[in-house]
Amino acid sequence: MDFRALFQPSTMAVIGVSLQKDQHPANVIFRKNHLRYPVKVFAVNPKGGSLQGETVFKNISDIPEKVDLAVIAARADHVPDILSECIACGTGGAAVISGGFAEIGRIDLQETVVSMAREADFPFIGPNCLGIYSPSFLDSFFLPSERMIRPDQGNVAVVSQSGGILVDLMLKFKEESIGISLGVSIGNKAMIREIDLLQYLEKDPGTKVIAFYVEGFSKGEGRDFVLAAARCSKPVIVIKSGKSPGGSRAVSSHTASLAGDYEVFSQVLAQMGVVEARDELELISFCESLSCYQKPIDGKMGIITGSGGHGAMAVDVCSAHGLRVPDLTIQDQESIREGLSTSIKAIASLKNPIDLTGSAVDEDFVSAARSLSTMPEIDCVLMLLLPYLPGITSDLGARLSGIYQKEGKALIAYVPHVEKYRMLIEGFELNGVPVSHSIDAAVLMAEALRRCQPC
Amino acid sequence: MLKREIKEILHASRPHGWVLEPEAKNILRSYGIDVPRFTWAATLEEALHFVREHGFPVVAKVVSPQILHKSDAGGVITGIDSDALLQATFQKFGQMDAFAGMLVEEMLPGLELMAGAKVDYQFGPVILFGMGGTEVEIYKDTVLRMAPLEERDIPSMIGNLKGHPLLEGYRGSKPINVAALTRTLLAFSGLVMDMNECIESIDLNPVLCSPETCVVADARIMLNRAQKNGHAG
């Protein structure tokens, strides 16, 4: 099934606009797309009339152009008729925003819609969802533009069963400068489910990482999903809600008791190399680091810092996450020492973590990072940068990124996120190196690289 | 595909919802999984005949469709080393609900591991493996994998157990026979895939692993609801 009509439409109909209530979700959707996104937007309401000076079409079939995407925000009872009109006039697909289906017990209504769509090979998202945010194409979320925080265009695709979680994640992605390729709220996922989007996104050249917020799978759906995710050439991240067991069920075997729903979910994901994010911090960190690096590591960390305390903290966090910080040989230490400036040669500690001391300058960090990036004992470099040290300049981010680009060894930076240090941070980010705002999150970024392979 | 004799056992087990231990062991055996030598004695004479042939000590377990948790009901006696004790045990078990015989089997040494299976709603058949014995739910030292297992899964399953040094030889003890354990787990995985439409869960606990062998000393096969009602087949 071709989803391009859904995610990269040239034309879009918003069905169910109100002629009286300007705050109606359909009106919000019309307004925020009309003349603001490249997509050409048409409003539809059976009564006709005009909205913002534009014709309101009585029926989707009255629109003089072929419509790629129909965004349906009419009452649930009207959806089957609207869908059959969309199908009849060759519309490419739909996002059914309307609620009032399986989530309130109207399974019959949902099944009607699904069987119509299946028969016509007509893809639709939802119902009961926010729909699609496709940067530089469209935004079907019924949230006024001025209320939303939109991340930049990037390579992380997010698929969420919950619209609210998706909007919230987009806000946090923006904060961390993570760009997205597509955001889809799939709601009741009556027809298009996680696995369908996984298959589409695997082929989407704009997407490098695929993240899912999952509430649950139907019978056997989880199995199909993880098998597809295991075959997927791009990293797949999943966060699950509803981890705690729902009440105490009487179980008659040890296995049934030990293999609870979440235990199975979590361990099967790990078995298949799907990265499970256990909380929001993990999810954000994993998305950021996997958007930069898609190659798994074993987790042999080389740590560089200008503060012994930061090095020691990072070692603790690494070890709590099962990442190793191997000692460097005397030989390796000496080769690092050779590259350091005279003033710190005698005082720097080079065992790993490498503490270049507060007297280090840009050149020392660059030199040490270059050395670690060529050592086979290390497969990921953790750079803990404290911009208040006098020898560090704003150029360092971009310079260190250059080492990654040359040597290809994963580099993760920690820089305190305050406005004053913005240029240093952007020097990393704009050059494809992830930067975290805490040591813990930096270590999580490394953990993501270790976890994106079968255990 | 399930063999005919297994289908017959499952069919006969439907009314009580689980498979009696001697029959469960026969199913395991048909998949090439080792179990202790045992007899399902309907009479004391049959029990005595088993010890004449195989010697003491033996374990005796009550067989009854009413007694799922044999240990809790006092239906397991280990270390029986005389005719008198065997006789007393038989008489005691004979008083229990729906007594359907006594299982008498050889006692084997080995590290107590466990293997289990469950048909998960979202993910289908999964295999549980870990440290076994009666305390499994206290220590919870287990790993889960989606079935079917492949040979390359086994080392990581063992490596993920906290107790893995015990399998690899701890403080002078010899390592267990990993090849035998691997064979057992792969055969069990095959059984689970064949039976996944009929079962709810399976416990093989303990699985006794020694430097020489890997033997399943107890087996509980719980049938799923459809099977209990006779709809699946």
Residue B69 vs residues A175, B65, B120, B134: alpha-carbon distances, Å: 56, 10, 23, 11
- pTM, entire model: 0.93
Q: Tell me, yes or no, whether B124 and B146 share the same domain.
A: yes
Name every chain B residue with its beta carbon within 8 A of the beta carbon of A455: 156, 160
Task: Work out the angle between the directed axes of helices B21-30 and B4-13 (0-180°, nearest 10).
Answer: 160
State whether A255 and B122 contact (CB < 8 Å).
Answer: no
Q: Is A226 on the interface with B (CB under 8 A)?
A: yes
Residue A106 vs residues A90, A97, A159, A218: alpha-carbon distances, Å: 27, 15, 24, 17
Q: Tell me, yes or no, whether B145 and B179 share the same domain.
A: yes
Contacts of A346 (CB under 8 A, 6+ apart): none
Q: Tell me, yes or no, whether B57 and B80 share the same domain.
A: yes
Phi/psi for B165 (5° steps) reads -60, -30
Q: Is B150 on the interface with A (CB under 8 A)?
A: no
Domain's final residue, options B87, B106, B125: B106
Q: Is A52 on the interface with B (CB under 8 A)?
A: no
A170/A282 Cα distance (integer angstroms): 15
List all residues of chain B from 112 to 131 with a beta carbon under 8 Å from chain A: 114, 116-118, 120-124, 126, 128, 130
Architecture per CATH, A149-245+252-292: 3-Layer(aba) Sandwich (3.40)
Distance from CA of A322 to the nearest CA of B (A): 12
Q: How does DSSP classify residue A324? A: B
Q: Is A244 on the interface with B (CB under 8 A)?
A: no
List all residues of chain B from 34 to 93 with a beta carbon under 8 Å from chain A: 68
Name every chain B residue with its beta carbon within 8 A of the beta carbon of A252: 18, 68, 200-201, 222
A310/A287 Cα distance (integer angstroms): 24
Distance from CA of A99 to the nearest CA of B (A): 25
Q: Is B226 on the interface with A (CB under 8 A)?
A: no
Contact (Cβ atoms closer than 8 angstroms) between residue B158 and residue B220? no
Quick one: which of A347, A367, A348 has its CA closest to A356? A348
Domain locations along chain A:
1-125, 149-245+252-292, 296-451
The residue with tokens 């996680």 is A194
**Which of B116, B145, B153 shows the shortest C-beta gap to A253?**
B116
Domain's final residue, options B106, B135, B160: B106
Contacts of B181 (CB under 8 A, 6+ apart): B113, B154, B158, B167, B207, B209, B214
Q: What is the DSSP string of B106-128?
A: E----EEEEEEEEEETTTEEEEE
Q: Which two tokens stand for residue A365?
A: 């960090």
Contacts of A259 (CB under 8 A, 6+ apart): B116, B118, B120, B126, B128, B144, B201
A76/A339 Cα distance (integer angstroms): 69
Residue of B nearest to A225 (CA): B123
Q: Is B203 on the interface with A (CB under 8 A)?
A: yes
Quick one: which of A250, A222, A338, A236 has its CA closest to A294? A236
Write out chain B's pLDDT in tens, 233 residues.
688 999 999 999 999 999 999 999 999 999 999 999 999 999 999 999 999 999 999 999 999 999 999 999 999 999 999 999 999 999 999 999 999 999 999 999 999 999 999 999 999 999 999 999 988 999 999 999 999 999 999 999 999 999 999 999 989 999 999 999 999 999 999 999 999 999 999 999 999 999 999 999 999 999 997 644 444 33
N residues, chain B: 233
State whether A259 and B146 contact (CB < 8 Å).
Answer: no
Q: Is A263 on the interface with B (CB under 8 A)?
A: yes
Encode A149-211 in three state secondary structure. CCCCEEEEEEEECCHHHHHHHHHHHHHCCCCEEEEEECCCCCCCCHHHHHHHHHHCCCCCEEE
Contact (Cβ atoms closer than 8 angstroms) between residue B144 and residue A268? yes
Q: How does DSSP classify residue A329? A: P
**Which of A222, A254, A255 shows the shortest C-beta gap to B123?**
A222
Q: Tell me, yes or no, whether B74 and B126 share the same domain.
A: no
Number of domains in chain B: 2
Q: Tell me, yes or no, whether B195 and B140 share the same domain.
A: yes
List all residues of chain A from 115 to 174 with a beta carbon under 8 Å from chain B: none
Buried b (16+ CB within 10 A) or exposed e, A228-242: bbbebebbbbbbbee
Q: Is B110 on the interface with A (CB under 8 A)?
A: no
Architecture per CATH, A296-451: 3-Layer(aba) Sandwich (3.40)
Which of B122, B220, B223 to mutate to probe the A interface, most A CBs <10 Å? B122
Q: Tell me, yes or no, whether B214 and B99 share the same domain.
A: no
Domain's final residue, options B79, B106, B133: B106
The residue with tokens 């260190």 is A400
Pairs of residues, one from chain A and one from chain B, whose beta carbons lie less than 8 Å apart: 92
State whether B120 and A259 contact (CB < 8 Å).
Answer: yes
Task: Work out the angle between the directed axes of helices A163-175 and A280-292 (0-180°, nearest 10).
Answer: 60
Which helix (H) or strand (E) segment holds residue A372: the answer is helix A362-373
Q: Tell me, yes or no, whether B130 and B187 share the same domain.
A: yes
Q: Which two tokens stand for residue A87?
A: 């199908």
Quick one: which of B120, B159, B112 has its CA closest to B139? B112
The residue with tokens 């007297």 is A359
Q: Tell me, yes or no, whether B73 and B167 share the same domain.
A: no
The pLDDT assigned to B226 comes to 67
Q: Tell me, yes or no, whether B182 and B70 share the same domain.
A: no
Q: How does DSSP classify residue B14? A: G
Name every chain B residue with its beta carbon within 8 A of the beta carbon of A271: 144-146, 153
Buried b (16+ CB within 10 A) or exposed e, B106-142: bebebbbbbbbbbbbebbbbbbbbbbbeeebeeeebb
Q: How does DSSP classify residue A300? A: B
Write out chain A's pLDDT in tens, 455 residues.
789 999 999 999 999 999 999 999 999 999 999 999 999 999 999 999 999 999 999 999 999 999 999 999 999 999 999 999 999 999 999 999 999 999 999 999 999 999 999 999 999 999 999 999 999 999 999 999 999 999 999 999 999 999 999 999 999 999 999 999 999 999 999 999 999 999 999 999 999 999 999 999 999 999 999 999 999 999 999 999 988 765 545 667 889 889 889 999 999 999 999 999 999 999 999 999 999 999 999 999 999 999 999 999 999 999 999 999 999 999 999 999 999 999 999 999 999 999 999 999 999 999 999 999 999 999 999 999 999 999 999 999 999 999 999 999 999 999 998 999 999 999 999 999 999 999 999 999 999 999 998 87
Q: Tell me, yes or no, whether B144 and B91 share the same domain.
A: no
Q: Is A268 on the interface with B (CB under 8 A)?
A: yes
Name every chain B residue with its beta carbon within 8 A of the beta carbon of A261: 120-122
**Which of B68, B121, B202 shows the shortest C-beta gap to A255?**
B202
Residue of B nearest to A264 (CA): B144
Contacts of A41 (CB under 8 A, 6+ apart): A11, A12, A13, A14, A30, A33, A34
State whether B118 and A218 contact (CB < 8 Å).
Answer: no
Which of A195, A238, A254 to mutate to probe the B interface, most B CBs <10 Å? A254
CATH number at residue B29: 3.30.470.20
State whether B122 and A254 contact (CB < 8 Å).
Answer: no
Range of the domain at B191: 4-34+109-229
State whether A263 and B123 contact (CB < 8 Å).
Answer: no
Residue A161 vs residues A128, A188, A292, A426, B140: alpha-carbon distances, Å: 10, 7, 25, 32, 32
- Omega prior to A434 cis, within 30 of 0: no
Q: Is B18 on the interface with A (CB under 8 A)?
A: yes
Calculate the dihedral angle through the C-alpha atoms of A96, A100, A104, A107, rounding to the nearest 10 degrees. Answer: -70
**Which of B121, B137, B144 shows the shortest C-beta gap to A263?**
B144
Q: Could you give the count of Cα atoms lying within 13 Å of A203 in the half-sphere of its Cβ? A: 9
**Cα radius of gyration (chain A):** 25
CATH assignment of A1-125, given 3.40.718.10, 3.40.50.720, 3.20.20.10, 3.30.420.480? 3.40.50.720
